Structure 1
Amino acid sequence: MHIKTALSSAEQAVAAATKTRQQHTLVLIAEPSYAKAAKIFFNFATSRLTEAQQALNKLTAETAEYAVKASYAAGRVDELMLILDEAQRGSENTNYCIRHDSNDATADKSPTAGCIAAFSQACTKTAANLNIKLTAAFKKDASTEHGTASKCKLTETVSTAFGRDRGNFDLPGGMLVIASAGDFEGDSFKAYALSKPPVDGLKKERPADEAFPTVAAGPPTTKTGILAILQKGSQPPELETAVKNYYGWDANHNDDAVQTEITKIFGLSEDGTKSTYLDVLEKLGYKQKSDTAADPIKLFEMNEEMLVNATNAATATNLKAKAAAKPCTAAKAPKDAEELCNGKSGDANSCNETAGCNYNSTGEANKKCTLKKEMKAQLEKASQETGGKDGKLLPIDVPNILKKKMAKRKTRM
């Protein structure tokens, strides 16, 4: 994977995971009866977010090193090409002076005839101190002369001149190591440049595509995307792990059992085309305080800022409901307390936060919030003990009744 692609993938994964967490946090607060599914998907998104952040951190730390490697390799090849260009026998279309095969009939016996540069340091300067850097980098002697069979060549063998016998090049304190190069053997550089050590050595030292990690895609933020990964056989390992962690199952828990549980938690239909949990998400909306904004905005249409605002609004609504919740009381009989609980059937939080009431999601529409059996018994007994002079029953404060009951038990103990 290319460095730019890897960085972009990590960035997108972080953004998607962050948004997913916001979506299911909103569900957790606004629809507490679906808390299990919301928590599990939130934890799944957190796992993906952690993976993406770790990959991004790794890429950030390594990018500097890869950049040095790439720029040095490119620069070294350019410098090598400059030396060879200045050392060629004629135009760029003729063979190089560094090496000719035995069939080169145009070679001249004179020391430097046909060679443009008598010394490697005679290369044309293209940057300050370039020749000094070349000499230091390649450890090249400063002369060229004819040799055996009237061939024009460098004083040293190419292998020695270009470092194979001198070991690797250690740069920036060992942070970067360039493999030794050289050894053209009997082949001309022009024909075998890519396969011979000077260039091939640099190629091998450059960061390969495999050096950059493949970043897992971020969790889906659309109904279609979420529905796709809830299907058996398509459930991501991180989602299965989130379910195992939620129930406290070990890592080796039966995969089929985990996948089946996922379909139950998210209310997936038998044909896999619907999910009760996703239906709730799709209907969840937020009414913005704006004359121009669409009203209300549905969850899957919200951006990150809207999700934050919607979550804050849902939290505020819950706090108001909690503050308004009063202890269950009976003015005349337990029937009054029962009716009070029934009146909170539309709000699970309000029901459960009202002393003496219990919320049952499977109950009848207007009787999901009911009076607890033990509380009903307490109220009936208290009703018989608290009659007034006029024959009417006095208001009964359930929490005080419970406190008195507990005090009596402690006294007996």
Structure 2
Amino acid sequence: MLWPVIILTALTGAEHSDAVAAKAIIHVTNLGNLCSLAANLGAAGEHLKNKIESFKSKLDAEEKIRRAALILGGATSAHNLTVRLANAYAAIKLSKAMQLLTDAGAKAAVAGTAAGKAAGGIREAFSILEQLTKSGSTASAQSACLADGATQGASNKPQSTGGSTLEKCLKLSGASESTAADPFSYKALLATAQAGGNIFTNGAAGSGSNGCPLTNIDTDSFGKQNAGLATLNLAAGLIQLSTTGGDHSSSQLIAHSDVQAKAPKVQTAITAYISAIQAVTTTPIEELEKLQEKSWQTAKTDADLLQAFKDVGAVPQTTTELTDASKATYDDYIKAREKWQQPLDGGKELDTEWHRYLAARSTWMVQIELAAEKKPTCPNTATKPEEACNAIGDSEAKKCNETDNCHFVESNEKGRKCTLKKEVKEKLEKANQETGGKDRKTDCSSHQNQKSCEAVNTAGKKHCGWRSGKDNEDDKDKVKCRDSSFLLSKQFALSVVSAAFMSLVIF
């Protein structure tokens, strides 16, 4: 079964032109939440992939149940109503589920890419800050941009390994799975804005060529004299630095309430993730679960189940809602599912048996078609529609009543409970009486020319016709006077046989 392949974007090479500036050295003490957010963003693609695979496994499980039902129903015989209903219902649901899976896969790919870009923006910002920080540098040194604590000493360069806060930002490790209610846990992790001493050291902000070259705002231009830069955004826009007020009094790590307006890449990832998670977990799962709904009162409201009942001829096509008359059939289906979910007897492999089933079923269907095309070997077969009804059987009341011109009479003798409808039988008997019960073919064949042949047709009743032969008539290619009413009777009888047969043979 084919299903969408999610392309998970590699979380490298993210843009860093979104960065905003700061003047003092940034310390990582209170940036643990930001690094956790980065990790969650980085893992979003993998988490969505897992959900897609979980959905696919549920879809595969239902397909296996459908196949088991058909295999156990037999490849060379007409399936009973329970099997046909299971096949029809599953076919509808699985078709819808595949469409939903395709949609979910596309949305998950978009969400994974968007989250990867946002995570990459955070990671690259800290990668640059780390590279601009040398061991032994102090707050007043130009080669210090990150610190472990609120002050920058000679030996407190942040560690990028060993489970440190910075490691999460750089490796995007230790992620938690997200939910649609709080994608990437951004609401919890960015509960409030962080500013001042919460993210900046109390060391020198930088003067002239001193301080972090990236965050030095002493020149009002982030390290470059007269550059005219008043703001600098870092970490996908989550850290927003400003020269306004001096000493980073207007700089901050923003709160979740400002993400939509100030961090567009993160907001794009959030929106895409919500759409993807709903597509892969809500509607698809609900649709598949309906296939195993045990409550008839709940199940009968499903439009797909109604359609399945129509598809197998269990209810008329004009039915607008299922009634309790169909409950027994549905209960049989639910009970049978328990058996269909079990391994096949004798340790048989489902996949192997499925291919055997398809081959045998195809051969059987061809044989049936060929048999239907053969001429009848006995005239009685075509002229006795009553026997076509009888052939449906004494135990198939539903099929009998759904077959044109037949109805089921429980009080009838064995072998004749499915019988021709009274009004139909009377019509045929009347036609027979009008011809005197004679061999109508013999009556017409006595006329040797077209004028004489057609002259017997009186009172609007066509008894004879000047024509070539049809199936089951002698001298098929010869044009002569032949019985017309015979053809009508035969055609009617064959329609009964056909209706009865097709009610039994459904793939």
- How far apart are 1:56 and its partner, in Å? 0.9
What is the alpha-carbon distance in structure 1 between the residues aligned to residue 156 and residue 286 of structure 2?
Answer: 63
For 1:12-411, what aligned pairs fall within 5 Å after superposition?
Answer: 12-17=54-59, 20=62, 23-24=65-66, 30-31=78-79, 33-34=81-82, 35=84, 38-85=87-134, 88-89=137-138, 147=207, 153-154=211-212, 156-157=216-217, 160-161=221-222, 165-166=230-231, 178=237, 181-183=240-242, 204=266, 207-208=269-270, 210=274, 212-214=276-278, 215-216=280-281, 217-218=284-285, 226-228=291-293, 230-233=295-298, 240-243=302-305, 261=322, 265=326, 267=328, 275-280=331-336, 294=345, 303=350, 306-307=353-354, 309-324=356-371, 331=380, 338-339=386-387, 341-345=389-393, 358=406, 366-367=415-416, 369-371=418-420, 374=424, 378=428, 381=432, 384-386=437-439, 403-404=487-488
Post-superposition Cα deviations, 1:361-397, rounded to whole Å, max 9, x if no partner, equal 98988446544653685378279212999xxxxxx97
Task: State the AA in 1 paired with 2:123.
Answer: A
Post-superposition Cα deviations, 1:85-136, rounded to whole Å, max 9, x if no partner, equal 568418xxxxx96699xx98x99xxxxxx7999xxxxxxxxxxxxxxxxxxx
- How far apart are 1:54 and its partner, in Å? 0.7
What is the alpha-carbon distance in structure 2 between the residues aligned to residue 308 and residue 22 of structure 1?
Answer: 13
Task: Determine the structure 2 residue equivalent to 1:126.
Answer: none
- How far apart are 1:43 and its partner, in Å? 1.6
- How far apart are 1:51 and its partner, in Å? 1.1
- Secondary structure in 1 aligned to 2:241? coil
CA contact 2:45–2:109 (8 Å) conserved in 1:
no
What is the alpha-carbon distance in structure 2 between the residues aligned to residue 177 and residue 99 of structure 1?
Answer: 18
Gap change, CA 1:323 and 1:371, over 3 Å in 2:
farther
Gaps of 5+ in 1: 91-95, 108-113, 118-143, 170-175, 249-256, 269-273, 286-292, 390-395, 408-413
What is the alpha-carbon distance in structure 1 between the residues aligned to residue 302 and residue 48 of structure 2?
Answer: 26
- How far apart are 1:157 and its partner, in Å? 1.0
- How far apart are 1:406 and its partner, in Å? 9.8
CA contact 1:37–1:265 (8 Å) conserved in 2:
no
Structure number with greater CO (CA < 8 Å, separation at least 6) is 2
Task: State the AA in 1 paired with 2:106.
Answer: N
What is the alpha-carbon distance in structure 2 between the residues aligned to residue 165 and residue 315 of structure 1?
Answer: 76
Gap change, CA 1:50 and 1:387, over 3 Å in 2:
closer
CA contact 2:390–2:418 (8 Å) conserved in 1:
yes
The number of aligned residues is: 319
Normalising to structure 1: TM-score of the pair?
0.50
Post-superposition Cα deviations, 1:125-176, rounded to whole Å, max 9, x if no partner, equal xxxxxxxxxxxxxxxxxxx99649xx9635741885399835668xxxxxx9
Task: State the AA in 2 paired with 1:403.
Answer: L
What is the alpha-carbon distance in structure 2 between the residues aligned to residue 242 and residue 345 of structure 1?
Answer: 30
- Secondary structure in 2 aligned to 1:3? helix
Task: Determine the structure 1 residue equivalent to 2:198.
Answer: none
Normalising to structure 2: TM-score of the pair?
0.43
What is the alpha-carbon distance in structure 1 between the residues aligned to residue 337 and residue 416 of structure 2?
Answer: 25
What is the alpha-carbon distance in structure 2 between the residues aligned to residue 210 and residue 267 of structure 1?
Answer: 41
What is the alpha-carbon distance in structure 1 between the residues aligned to residue 307 and residue 51 of structure 2?
Answer: 27
